Structure 1
Amino acid sequence: MNSATDQPVTDAPIHVVLIIGSNREGRFGPVVAEWLLSRIRERDDMEVDVVDAADVRLPTALSYSPSAEVTGELAKVTPKLADADAFVVLTPEYNHSFPAPLKNLIDWHYTEWRAKPVAFVSYGGLSGGLRAVEHLRQVFAELHAVTVRDTVSFHNAGAHFDDEGRHRDPAAPDAAAKGMLDQLVWWGRTLKEAKEVRPYAG
Structure 2
Amino acid sequence: MRIVVTLGKVEVVAPPKVSEHRISQFVQVKQQWIVQTLAKIEANSLHHKKLAPAVYSHGAEVPYRGARYKLAVRPTKLKRIKIEFNQEFIAHVPDALIMKDHSAEIKEALTRWMKKESKTQVEHFVKQHAERKQLFPQTIKIKTQKSRWGSCGIHNDININWLLIIAPPEVLEYVVVHELCHIKIRNHSAHFWALVAEHLPDYQSRRHWLKKHGGSLMMGL
> Whose helix fraction is larger, Structure 1's or Structure 2's?
2
Larger Rg over CA atoms: 2
Superposition TM-score, scaled by structure 2 size: 0.27
Which gives a bigger RCO, structure 1 or 2 (Cα 8 Å, sep 6+)?
1
